[in-house]
Chain A
């Protein structure tokens, strides 16, 4: 049947989670959320109000105010890479680099989603730190994947020189940003640059490949600043005099337009974006309208148990992410440990793949129940086929991970889980439909890979404050590390009590270290996740992401639902 039959899922909060659990879980999420918010605020403040004041004194706007004027009034700005370099310091003066000195964000400009890349002029005048080039390239890559227009708001004094060995030479060194500029241009992705201030050396190359370049009267672009030009002092030359708008707009033609100030520049950039083709989202809704879930997405704050070993109902999560809280489940009776299905998000079709944390029946042994959050043969096969169908049909996929890993043991090996898993990995690795990954909670083992973890190049990978990203839980890893000194019940085998105690201490140390390493903030600081969002914010991320996947036309396959291969698969499966 060529109809996409979506069924209501989920239940009212009172029925989904009892009062006591709700209160405890909400409180837990609130504490984690507050801690996350404090970190966001810290990054947002840059190097503090005195730096912002310094920027203003030069007649310029601080970066966040620029973004605020760029976006359509009242629309959310979704920053990603916020916590890159969080907790790290550089140079002998142990300087911090909030957000790696650059803001990368999705912003709605003239009704179109854009990727905004804006040097943070309140952090060392927008200079480039270790990981700044990678963060910029990540934003460019996302724009390239979704064909989203890119807006550069450039205000950059060049590399932070004490750390140049980390930012200059490598595969992802600063120069790779300009390579991405070129690739974006080659793929026909619009790039618009506003030059607001310093734009030295590397910074200077970034705007030039853009289709349209605006410069304010405070801006200059130079291969080398006045400080490096021989005899600068004697000739009374300044960077502005050798690379300002007077030179680049009129003589060199390296920029197109000169404008008096930041405010005017941003208004002009908005006008440029408005000239581009509009969003195709309304077209791809096929006459339906965007709708909120019936159950408030904010209730996701209280759905996840405090103890990470406790299960919950993943359908209640899906019910708070999908329009009208409706899902058309794919092969619901096969591989019940996985939930696959199609839903509308903001009126647009999206595929969801999620772990079912409940106990499910063993497909063969009638009395056996299997724990959820694990990949078994049937679930892997179902997910792989669903993923292939979505790719074939052009349905963007959202992966919701709460996965401990693949099933292990003699039965799993006999069934050839390595083979089934590899089939799934092959599928995801070669899919070209936009895929987005959310690490709801656990992201462990090869399950993290098989469910489109970052190494499989999702367009974006989100974590929550509850995320536990590691090859395995600390306790499991400690057992692995001390395996030869443990008995079958994982108790220490020791000649003396002291030795047993030493083994126990050693195991505890391993467990503690892994638990620390699982902290999503650390992952975000290293760019292993793109952004940490609160569970209650997930819908506010997923909805725009799906809309971005449908914004541009002509670059990827989008099949109308009449001709989905998913329907063929359902017929075959009966």
Chain B
């Protein structure tokens, strides 16, 4: 195992990686920005190092500063967490040249999956179903119109280099297509430096289901079941669970195995997630692959009993996966609630500031596993510069009903004071019949009335 690992991230994920390292007997160097000086998670690291001022571009996104910190502190590997540099192919390539192991896939895989159309082509070639649409970039608006007529409206124009909804346009009828094409191309050009677009069928509603995979350096890959992430607000996930209430064991096995072998087919190494859209009719379509650890990885850990971060480190150091697909056992049900420093009744306006009280809820529900992955403590001032998520509450029990029951007391036991959080929203969600029944889809939360009518104030 590595002697010492640098953690190029902050908050709950930094705490999470530090914990995994400690359990493996690996020393940690936690880097931080000036805004995070004295942060609670830093106390658990072997050593800490300030790498720059508050803006992420000059600290957590500053590849030079992080590489220099790793050299200086003699770290043999860098764990990027999620966000920041975790899906930056150039950073991974630079680590490679420095002889520092980037805990994640190689730069080529990051780049291949970063190009959404290429990712779609790769996965289609590996036998995964993809949303009907382009296999090549569109040559022109006329090309787009031809294809749209073929697959039927509504359609979605997307930027090949895209992400985050930029360069994306929905189009419901032929008349709107030329204008949508021009706008999307212009937006893609300015956002990504490439106006390359592709088109696919716009699928209304559906559920967001994703498969976790692990792949070692020797061509062996397994899936660890799926996560259901359809409780979303403006494409931001709020609640995730495993298994998905919508999937049968046969579907899970069939798609999961195909996802794992698809990842292995192009030489993917380390942890990764393949996102699918499950339509109301029950078809599953590959959407994209995230080449990193996901925020919601703990629900998978709870049902599999595997520590994904420890496996990431083991794979990075060259260990083979020590188990086969049929040795992966999924037990019980787990749900994760994202606790964000936001006011859900004021359009999810971020609400950074000093936390005056927060308690560990892990003993809140006797007989049920409650896990609190967080980077906060009483007295810590949540800085305004970064993502507003401060922690994740994960509840694991034998059945979904038991989890829902225990979640109520666990959420109440958090007792966060000083800032507004998403806890009240989660408590209301537990009362929602669609959520309780597990019959929700990606539109449920925004249609439920739970998020209030003031969301435009954000």
A residues engaging B (CB < 8 A)?
Answer: 3-8, 12-14, 287-292, 294-296, 323-326, 328
Contacts and interface: CB of A to CB of B under 8 A. Distances in A.
In the complex, which of the residues A287, A289, A326 has the most CB atoms of chain B within 10 Å of its own CB atom? A289
Contact of A3 (B63, B99, B107, B111): B99
Contact of A326 (B93, B99, B267): B93
Contact of A6 (B89, B97, B109): B97
A8 B107 CA distance: 14
Contacts of B96: 287-288
B391 interface: no
B108 interface: yes
Contacts of B109: 289
A3 B98 contact: yes
B106 interface: yes
A324 B90 contact: yes
In the complex, which of the residues B93, B94, B107, B108 has the most CB atoms of chain A within 10 Å of its own CB atom? B93
B294 interface: no
Chain B: number of interface residues, binned into ranges: 10 to 19
A326 B108 contact: no
A285 to B, nearest CB: 11
B107 A291 contact: yes
A289 B106 contact: yes
Interface in B399-429: none
Contact of A13 (B97, B107, B193): B193
A287 B96 CA distance: 9
A291 B108 contact: yes
Contact of B97 (A4, A292, A295): A4
Interface string B71-106: 000000000000000000110011011110000001
Interface in B95-136: 96-99, 106-109, 111
A323 B106 CA distance: 13
A8 B106 CA distance: 17
Contact of A290 (B89, B90, B94, B108): B108
Contacts of B89: 291, 294, 324
Given A14-B193, A294-B90, A324-B89, A5 B107 contact: no
A295 B96 CA distance: 20
B97 A291 contact: no
B310 interface: no
B34 to A, nearest CB: 25
Contacts of B362: none
B111 A291 contact: yes
Contacts of A295: 193
Contacts of A5: 97-98
B194 interface: yes
A241 to B, nearest CB: 51
Nearest to A290: B108
A290 B107 CA distance: 9
B94 A326 contact: yes
A324 B93 contact: yes
B90 A289 contact: no
Contact of A292 (B98, B111, B193): B111
9 contacts: A3-B97, A8-B90, A289-B106, A289-B107, A291-B107, A291-B108, A295-B193, A324-B90, A326-B97
A290 B99 CA distance: 17
Interface in B165-203: 193-194
Nearest to B193: A12
Contacts of B93: 6, 288, 291, 323-324, 326
Given A8-B90, A288-B96, A324-B90, 14 more contacts: A4-B97, A5-B98, A6-B93, A6-B97, A7-B94, A289-B106, A290-B108, A291-B107, A291-B111, A295-B193, A324-B94, A326-B90, A326-B94, A328-B97
B99 to A, nearest CB: 6
Contacts of B194: 296
A324 B99 contact: no
Give the 5 A-B residue pairs with the shortest CB-CB distance, closest first.
Answer: A289-B108, A324-B93, A6-B97, A12-B193, A289-B106
Contacts of A328: 97
Interface in B17-34: none
Nearest to A13: B193
A328 B97 CA distance: 10
Contacts of A291: 89, 93, 107-108, 111
In the complex, which of the residues A6, A7, A291, A292 has the most CB atoms of chain B within 10 Å of its own CB atom? A291
Nearest to B90: A324
A4 B99 CA distance: 9
A115 B276 CA distance: 45
Given A289-B106, A291-B89, A6 B193 contact: no
Nearest to A8: B90
Nearest to B111: A291
A8 B193 contact: no
Nearest to B192: A12
Nearest to A2: B99
Contacts of A6: 93-94, 97
Nearest to B97: A6
